[in-house]
Amino acid sequence: MRCEGWRIRDRFLRQFLRCIVRIFGIWNFFRLKRVYMHGDLEFFYKNSDVCMYILTMRNYINSKLLNFNLIILVLSIVTFVTSRNYESWEGSQNIDRDSFANVDEVITTHFELKLEIDFDHRVLRGLQQLQMTKLAPRVDQVYLDIRDLKVYEVYGDHGEPLNYAIDNPNPMLGQRLAISLSREQASSKDFAIYVQYETATNASALSWLAPQQTSGKTLPYLFTQCQTIHARSMAPLQDTPSVKSTFVVETLTEPAIQTRVTGNMTHNQLQNSSGVELRFTRHQIDIPIQSYLLAIASGNLAERKIGDRTTVISEPEDLDKVANEFVQLEQFLDVAENLTIPYEWGEYKLLILPPSFPLGGMENPLLTFASPAIVPGDRSSVDVAIHELAHSWFGNLVTNNNWTNFWLNEGFTVFLERKVVKKIFGEDFYKVTAKLENQTMYFDMLDFGLDNDMTSLSPSYDGIHPDECFSDIPYEKGFQFLTFIESVIGEETMLDMLRAYLREFQKTSIGVDDFESYFSSYLEQRFGSDDARRILDTIDFNTWVHGTGLPPVAADFETKEYNEAIELAQNFIDTTPDAEKAAALYKSFSVNLKGLFISHLIDNLESLNQQKTQYIDDVLSVSSEINGEIIYRWLQVSIRSGQLQAPFTLADEFLGSIGRMKFVVPVYAAINAINPSKAREIYAKYEDFYHSMARDAITAVLKSEDVLISS
């Protein structure tokens, strides 16, 4: 039985209550009475007999029957509570159910990670030192998140061995490392834990590339991807966005290998140990961040400064092209900063990874990762870089406290990204981008089902790996929610609110209730109670955040150019338009307009056949495009219409050249819908090339009988 109506949400109230029960007991009965009448002993919930005690006590209090029986009852509760083992208490689970860490009792404030990067065996050997602070008065154990780590030794502040055990409360999420504290640690507020360990060769955060998989083809390469919950496969951590800490990471590699880690580099030098020369690097970050932002890139790296605060990094062979592609990076930073609050992270570094990186970009502070897919050579995909830069404020500075609230990272980031895009590239570019991604969101919703909980901004996926819920929905539905709020309160007020929001919550992790409460307070302070209520009545928070399906209010992003692209696509579907005029118009389109043109074809696949698709390609030469945003959409059309048939040569070449999930998963789905055996054959050829996140997504598609129609 669970007494769901009573809930003490504030951890300090919870600690205060426990202290009262344990220390003062019956002599502080009237303090207990006040807490009981306004809250709920959450750590009693699992026990029906305790719930019965509390219910009985409330009845006594409410009827003012303060007699001897009540005193005996309170004494019974005190005796029961002080004799309980608090392992059953689930306080931390109310913050982030994708972590096993008991973060309501103890949190990491700083860690120092020493790593040997072993390319020969494809493992990291590490010593993790966690500096921890208690939030609860009595803590006997610390729970850390791990995934397939070989733990060799755990010890405390003075080298004393600590008992530990590993169990599997939910194998989907990894394992729990339960560490028993020493007597001295149990009585201290602050303490340290040391864990010596080794990663698995198939650790989900790590991608090991052979030299031939790199541009230079001379040195091996390692890169990591820790979002959402993959950091636990790289190091023992409280792997939840609800915990932020500073850290230091030291690495040892072969002398020729250069390593970059999230944070500022303080050492990069060769050192001799027992006659063996190794490269030692040290990176540190002094602004507390969440574990999924821990990132490592190790290989043949070179960097070039392109602005006062901006630098690009890549393999040496690609550096000129990368620097030319992002020559505006400093401008992007300046515009974003002017729209928000000062950028405080230091030098913004953008690292272009090898092609197997599974995402468009990843916002690791001081070391943003990006796919080479955003470097087509014509600066047509720089909005991805703007998006990752915008995370410096939303996501990195103010963070979702769990993956259910992921839209607080991505919706806000897309909103700022589009503001920067509008300032630099104009209103039409902004609207076309928003319209294109709105269609992608719609396709994602169709894949889930419009009434599926995953189409809400607050999906409930307890016990499910959060990667399984990844889609464009938190990005685009979140963006449209904020755009709607802006339409109600005005752009000037919206930007002022966002600046105040950033100042209020910077360096913390929050939930949607925090945002809603703050927004209400902001409106009341700015407009007064009556106007604030009127505005809030216009904004249906519950439907926007918890409702499924399309946004409750449709945003208008149509432009003249958008209508031209849709009309051209429809003309090809209905007729055979004049080839010369059609080719000239298509050639004038931006990459995003071409994407909208093809997306309309995807949305009308039932009206296309092999001949119509071939005519479109003959006239427009779509299959000769170089931008992956166009290619992956066109391959879906050509495969599903029958224009591209087995052995699917163009698709095969594309799938072997890039590992970005947005691009490859829909193409595999298209092939699988036509020829499952060929889809599996192509995947088997490139399986080792892909990151584990991409492998999981592709294999899910190949096993599914559902028809995935877009990214």
The CATH code of the domain that includes 580 is 1.25.40.320
Among the candidates 490, 520, 546, a domain finishes at: 546
Q: Does a structural domain hold residue 493?
A: yes
Number of domains in the chain: 3
Max intra-chain CA distance, the chain: 96
Give the Å distances, CA to CA, from 399 to 93, 393, 402, 501, 559: 18, 9, 9, 12, 34
Q: 417 labelled as ligand-binding?
A: no
Q: Enter the pTM of the model.
A: 0.86
For the question of residue 475 being annotated catalytic, the response is yes
- Calculate mean pLDDT across residues 145-151: 98
Does residue 477 have a known ligand-binding role?
Answer: no
Cα end-to-end distance, the chain, whole Å: 42
- Per the domain annotation, does 450 fall within a domain? yes
Reply yes or no on whether the pLDDT at 23 is more than 70. Answer: no
Q: Is the pLDDT of residue 247 over 80?
A: yes
Q: Do the Cβ atoms of 309 and 237 come closer than 8 Å?
A: no
**pLDDT-derived band of residue 28, with 50, 70 and 90 as boundaries?**
very low
Burial class (CB in 10 A: 0-12, 13-18, 19+), 511: middle
Question: Do 402 and 516 share a structural domain?
Answer: yes
479 within 8 A of 418, measured Cβ to Cβ: yes
Query: Is 362 assigned a ligand-binding role in the annotation?
Result: yes
Categorize the per-residue pLDDT at 48 as very low, low, confident or very high, splitting at 50, 70 and 90.
Answer: very low
- Classify 122 as helix, strand or coil: coil
Q: Is residue 381 part of a domain?
A: no
Q: Categorize the per-residue pLDDT at 420 as very low, low, confident or very high, splitting at 50, 70 and 90.
A: very high
pLDDT at 474: 98
Residues 417 and 527 in one domain: yes
Say whether 110 counts as a known binding-site residue. Answer: no
Instruction: Enter the DSSP assignment of 176.
Output: E
pLDDT confidence of residue 74: 46
Q: Phi and psi of 63, rounded to 5°? A: -90, 5
Q: Which residues pair with 113 in a beta bridge?
A: 128, 249
Question: Which single residue is written with the structure tokens 């902001």?
Answer: 522
Query: In residues, how long is the chain?
Result: 711
Q: Which residues sit opposite 265 in a β-bridge?
A: 283
**CA nearest 251: which of 129, 126, 146?**
126
> What pLDDT does 706 receive?
52
pLDDT in tens, 212-228: 999 999 999 999 999 99
640, 535: one domain: no
Same domain, residue pair 476 and 576: no
Report the pLDDT value the prediction gives residue 130, as an integer from 0 to 100: 98
Q: Is position 360 annotated in a ligand binding site?
A: yes
Q: 710 in the Ramachandran plot: left (φ > 0), alpha (ψ -120 to 50) or beta?
A: beta
> What's the rounded Cα separation, in Å, for the pair 145 and 166?
10
- What pLDDT, on a 0 to 100 scale, did the predictor assign at position 622? 98
Residue indicated by tokens 């689930």: 90
Would you say 662 is a known binding-site residue? yes
Task: Say yes or no: 404 and 516 in one domain.
Answer: yes
**Element holding 130 (H helix, E strand):** strand 123-134
Region 665-672: mean pLDDT is 97
Question: Is there a single domain that holds both residue 453 and residue 575?
Answer: no
pLDDT at 393 over 90: yes
* Active-site choice (475, 501, 586, 686): 475
* Pair 569, 527 in one domain: no
Q: Looking at the domain assignment, is residue 197 inside a domain?
A: no
Are the CB atoms for 445 and 418 separated by under 8 Å?
A: no
290 is in an annotated binding site: no
Tell me if 363 is assigned to a ligand binding site: yes
Residue 538's domain comprises 393-546
Instruction: Classify residue 24: in a domain, yes or no.
Output: yes
Q: How far apart are CA 420 and CA 382, in angstroms?
A: 11
CATH number at residue 426: 1.10.390.10
Can the peptide bond before residue 466 be classed as cis, meaning omega within 30 degrees of 0? no
- Say if 451 falls within a structural domain: yes
- Catalytically annotated residue among 388, 476, 561, 629: 388
CA distance 653 to 648: 9
**226 is known to lie in a ligand binding site:** yes
Within 13 Å and on the Cβ side, how many CA atoms surround 49? 6
480 is in an annotated binding site: no
> For residue 705, what pLDDT band results from cuts at 50, 70 and 90?
low
Q: Are 302 and 313 in contact (CB under 8 A)?
A: yes
Co-location of 406 and 519 in the same domain: yes
pLDDT, residue 463, reads: 75
Which value, to the nearest 10 degrees, does the dihedral of the CA atoms of residues 415, 416, 420, 422 take? 20
Name the nearest CA neighbour of 224 among 242, 246, 251.
Answer: 251
Say whether 358 counts as a known binding-site residue: yes
Claim to verify: residue 470 and residue 601 sit in the same structural domain: no
How many whole angstroms separate alpha carbon 215 and alpha carbon 219? 10
Q: Are residues 495 and 568 in the same domain?
A: no
User: Which residues, in sequence order, are CB contacts of 530 under 8 Å at separation 6+?
Assistant: none
Angle at alpha carbon of residue 504, lines to 501 and 506, rounded to 5°: 90
Please tell me whether 361 is known to bind a ligand. Answer: yes
Contact 481, 464 (CB under 8 A): no
Q: Residues 169, 176: contact at Cβ < 8 Å?
A: yes
With tokens 């982030």, the residue in question is: 96
Q: Are residues 477 and 590 in the same domain?
A: no
* 538 assigned to some structural domain: yes
125 is in an annotated binding site: no
Residue 277 has pLDDT above 50, yes or no: yes
Phi and psi for 108 in degrees, rounded to 5? -85, 130
Q: Is residue 341 part of a domain?
A: no
For residue 553, pLDDT beyond 90 = yes
Return the minimum-mean-pLDDT range out of 4-8, 264-268, 428-432. 4-8
Does 68 have pLDDT greater than 50? no
Q: Which one of 89, 114, 138 terminates a domain? A: 89
Out of 483, 511, 546, a domain closes at 546
More confident of the two residues 50 and 275: 275
- Looking at the fold, whether 428 and 473 belong to one and the same domain comes out as yes
